[in-house]
Chain A
Amino acid sequence: MSHDDVLNPKQMPHDPEKATLEGKNKFLAFWFFLGGETVLFASLFGTYLALNRSTAGENTPENLFGLELVFIMTMLLLTSSLTSVYAMYHMKNHDFKKMQLWLGITVALGLAFLGFEIYEFVHYIHEYEFTFRSSAFGSAFYTLVGFHGGHVLFGLCWIVTLMIRNSKRGLNLYNAPKFYIASLYWHFIDVVWVFIFTVVYLMGKVG
Chain B
Amino acid sequence: MDNQSQTPQQKVEFERKQHKEEMKQQVISFALMILFTFIAFGMVLLDIGSVFLVPTLLLLAVVQVLFQLYYFMHMKNKGHDMVAVMMYGGLAVAILTIIAFTTIIWW
Closest to B98 in A: A46
Check: A194 CB closer than 8 A to any chain B CB: yes
Residues of A within 8 A of B82 (CB): 28, 31
Check: A125 CB closer than 8 A to any chain B CB: no
Residues of B within 8 A of A194 (CB): 61, 64-65, 68
Which of B45, B68, B106 is A190 in contact with, Cβ under 8 Å? B68
Number of A-B contacts (CB under 8 A): 127
B95 in contact with A34 (CB, 8 Å): no
Which of B15, B30, B87, B106 is A38 in contact with, Cβ under 8 Å? B87
Taking the closest CB of chain B, its distance from the CB of A112, in whole angstroms, is: 17
B95 in contact with A42 (CB, 8 Å): yes
Contact with A along B4-39 (1 / 0, CB 8 A): 000011001001100100110011001001100100
The number of chain A residues with a CB under 8 A from chain B is 49
Interface residues of A in 15-38 (CB under 8 A from B): 18, 28, 31-32, 34-38
Residues of B within 8 A of A39 (CB): 90, 93-94, 97
Taking the closest CB of chain B, its distance from the CB of A151, in whole angstroms, is: 15
Take A50-B102, A89-B19, A202-B44 as given contacts and tell me if A38 and B60 are in contact as well, using a CB distance cutoff of 8 Å: no
Taking the closest CB of chain A, its distance from the CB of B32, in whole angstroms, is: 11
Check: A148 CB closer than 8 A to any chain B CB: no
CA distance A39 to B91 in the complex (A): 7
Interface residues, chain A, CB within 8 Å of chain B?
A: 9-11, 14, 18, 28, 31-32, 34-39, 41-43, 45-47, 49-51, 67, 71, 74-75, 78, 81-82, 85-86, 89, 92-93, 184, 187-188, 190-191, 194-195, 197-199, 202-203, 205-206
